[in-house]
A and B are shown apart, each in its own frame.
Chain A
Amino acid sequence: MSQVTLLAAKLTEQQFDLLPIGICVIDHDHIIIKWNAVLTSWTGISTDRAVGSKLMDHYPNLLSARFLPRIQEVFKSGQPALFAPSTTHPFLPDPNQSVLLKTLISSLGGQGQFAQICLTDVTSQYSQIQDLRKEKEQHLISRDRAKAADLAKSEFLANMSHEIRTPMTAILGYADLLSDEQLVDSQRRKAINTIKRNGQHLLTIINDILDLSKIEAGKMTLEQIQTDPVRIVNEVLSLMLARAQDKGIDLVIKYDTPIPEQITSDPTKLQQILLNLLGNALKFTEMGSVTLHMAADSVRQQFQVRVVDTGIGMSAEQRDTISRFEAFHQANNSTTRQFGGSGLGLRISNSFAHLLGGEINVESVLGEGSTFTMTVSTGNLKGTRILNPELIGQRLEKTSQEEGQKLYGLAEKPLEGSRLLLAEDGPDNQRLISFILEKAGAYVTLAENGQIAVDKVHEANRSGKAFDVILMDMQMPVIDGYEATRQLRKEDYAGPIIALTAHAMAEDRQKCLNAGCDNYTTKPIDRKMLVSVIAEYTSVKYSTTPVEAPAT
């Protein structure tokens, strides 16, 4: 052999080892003739050990029907065989090691003498593909989510804008009408009633939105206190009684099981759910009855109220829509027009029920009526008295007598002769609240900010005509209500202070009480509520004997 030929042969041999692919040559008996360095490093089988041995002794899986006929075909007809990485792993050094190899077997040298097996490591190539695929999938998912969220938000805003505009238009329109001096009394009354009704509706919507946004932000806080379920259901019932009577619908309460005297829950939320369910039932019932079935299961620690109406009912499809508890959905859009409501109530109620460890279920038959079942957790009932239905009846009678007394008291002038300080910066509210209080018989002194309020308290104390109750707005200029209250308490002022705030949240109540207030009432002002809260602190409450008017 010439030197050049020798060198060429040596070079080929070197290249054979330097190639980044695994190369193995076998003869027609599958005896290994060549085994390059890459294969040694992949498989751990040295060239010395490999050469001269049978390939299938190292890899018996190649004898399977999947591989052997195709390898034999390479020798027989010279047709190449290709094994894709994902379908075959005949040359895996370690089954736990996920190396992906593309295998190509081709005839070498013709005549069916030899076959060359080429293995290419495509692991990194494939994992890159996998990564890219995952990335792209993730991207698509987040894009879809963002789109859906965006759509929901736009829908929400569009709906909300409509819901707010409708009552607002009525309020502004009728307010405009009121400025017409030619209006007769009945027209004026009608306008005022419309403004009031729409204002209340608007307030409901705003409260609902606040609740909903708190729920969605996961920031809705719950109270877990001793709650009297019977009292709450009956309160809701008495609030709705007038509406039911107006429509000529029977409002019935039934105790299906004995009921615990106390459960651990959030009374405000519970009341809100029941008001919503009962309100809906009355809204969608034109004749017949609405029945509240109360039941409790002390083993499963559940309290249940079923609101059964004989109203318009829902089709299975409508019921399914409602059961998803989406915002702004009534059974269909036309019912919104017919029956009003923002469509937020049920969704909020359902979220509340979940927060209270329960749920709301809907059953309905079109044209026959609907049943909404609220279940909430009762918490631990150990040591709680379980009242049977007769006992509940007796207890309620007593309560209603007390209520009656209270209402009788209100009908008189419940604040007759009491001296009140109203700390409030808004002139409209000053006028409105003073009017209400004076009508209830009180003498009202005004203070436009916290500082003036503190000064006036000092002044009144010095002159020996201390205020019976201070009504303190919390948001005021100079010093606010919280600060003014804290100052007064620091000076050992012991008289009752009632907070007045536009914030309707439970934690705001706590904030007021922490500052030293005795009680709390929210704006907008509910006339009866305001008077009755103040009356609790004036010495004349519930008294039918006239009190001497203080010298002015």
Chain B
Amino acid sequence: MELTENELDALAEIINIGSGRAAYSLSELTDSRIELSVPHLYCYDKSNFSEMATKFNLEFGTTVQQGFEGKMLGHALLAFPKANAFELARIVGGIPVGDAEMDQELYGVLEEIGNIVLNAILGSLANLVDCSLTYSLPALCENDAILKTIFSKMTQSGESANVVLVADTSLIVASHDISGSLILLFETGDIEIILAALAVNQAC
């Protein structure tokens, strides 16, 4: 399904509210000013998954994933290109530059950052549709394997197309500009719930 520019803008606004909360939490965590913004939102479905993966460089990324269920069902992911992910973790965690391949320490920090950001975004969405959600524990994965698994599981479950929202995210930490992608995968129909809620909100 296609979303109109207006709908995408309105959604981006909701996500931005969540980003604000996430930035606040991250600043608390690191004792330094952090800005997190979502400048643009894109909509995909299962037919152009690989196009999306390429566009957002997900093949070689590091991803933190958190599932949610309730009135809406899906997964939220925060993905960074590997180098960016480790740079972010290094700045936030104050961890010296080491060997990225086996750096559990950095993974730990990334997991926490992902947890904070995803909680905030999902919290805003849950507020919007006025429902409570149940969340799975955050998990970290390298490359796009986790995304592929979730995506194939979701597409297998129903005939109709799922909606994937991808947002460019930009994190500014201690004057380092780190960009990543925020990915929201929804079961079919969920997006309508969000859009309906948006329509109500905008009408108010």
Q: What residues make up the interface of A, taking CB atoms closer than 8 Å to B? A: 65-66, 69-70, 73, 77-87, 102, 104, 106-107, 110, 122, 125-126, 129, 132-133, 136-137
Contacts and interface: CB of A to CB of B under 8 A. Distances in A.
11 contacts: A65-B28, A66-B29, A70-B116, A73-B119, A80-B136, A81-B115, A82-B115, A85-B105, A87-B29, A87-B93, A87-B108
Contacts of A73: 119, 123
A509 to B, nearest CB: 54
B105 A129 contact: yes
A399 to B, nearest CB: 65
Contact of A77 (B93, B95, B98, B126): B126
B123 A79 contact: yes
A79 B135 contact: yes
Given A77-B133, A106-B137, 8 more contacts: A70-B25, A70-B116, A77-B123, A79-B123, A82-B112, A87-B30, A129-B105, A132-B102
Interface of B: 25, 28-30, 66, 92-95, 98-99, 102-105, 108-109, 111-112, 115-116, 119, 122-123, 126, 132-138
Contact of B104 (A81, A106, A129): A129
Contacts of B116: 70
Contact of A84 (B99, B111, B123, B132): B111
A84 B104 CA distance: 10
B133 A122 contact: no
Contacts of B108: 84-87, 102, 122
A448 B126 CA distance: 107
Given A77-B132, A79-B122, A80-B135, A87 B115 contact: no
Q: Is the interface of B mostly helix, strand, loop or mixed?
A: helix
Nearest to B137: A80
Contacts of A86: 93-95, 105, 108-109
Contacts of B28: 65-66, 69
Contacts of B105: 85-86, 126, 129
Contacts of A70: 25, 116
Closest 9 CB pairs of A and B: A84-B108, A84-B112, A82-B115, A79-B119, A133-B98, A84-B109, A86-B93, A65-B28, A66-B28
Chain A CB count within 10 A is highest, among B93, B94, B108, for B108
A150 B118 CA distance: 51
B138 A82 contact: yes
B99 A133 contact: yes
Given A122-B104, A133-B99, A78 B133 contact: yes
B132 A132 contact: no
Nearest to A140: B99
Contact of A87 (B112, B135, B138): B112
Contact of A82 (B93, B95, B102, B111): B111
Given A84-B111, A87-B93, A126 B99 contact: no
A87 B94 CA distance: 9
Given A69-B25, A87-B29, A102-B108, A80 B138 contact: yes
A104 to B, nearest CB: 6
B7 to A, nearest CB: 25
Contacts of B122: 79
B29 to A, nearest CB: 6
Nearest to B122: A79
A200 to B, nearest CB: 54
A106 B137 CA distance: 8
Nearest to A77: B123
A476 B135 CA distance: 93
B112 A83 contact: yes
A290 B26 CA distance: 69
B67 to A, nearest CB: 11
Contacts of A84: 93, 108-109, 111-112
Contacts of A106: 137
A78 B136 CA distance: 10
A85 B109 CA distance: 8
A350 B98 CA distance: 38
Contacts of B132: 77-78
Nearest to B139: A82
B30 to A, nearest CB: 8
Contacts of B126: 77
Nearest to B70: A78
A77 B135 CA distance: 9
A122 B105 CA distance: 10
B135 A78 contact: yes
Contacts of B111: 82, 84
Nearest to B106: A86
A219 B108 CA distance: 52
Given A84-B111, A87-B93, A78 B134 contact: yes
Contacts of A136: 99
Given A85-B105, A85-B108, A132 B99 contact: yes
A137 B102 CA distance: 13
Nearest to A85: B108
Nearest to A134: B98
A144 to B, nearest CB: 15
Chain A CB count within 10 A is highest, among B93, B94, B104, B135, for B104
Chain B CB count within 10 A is highest, among A86, A107, A129, for A86
A83 B113 CA distance: 9
A136 B102 CA distance: 11
Contacts of B95: 86
A75 to B, nearest CB: 12
A437 to B, nearest CB: 72
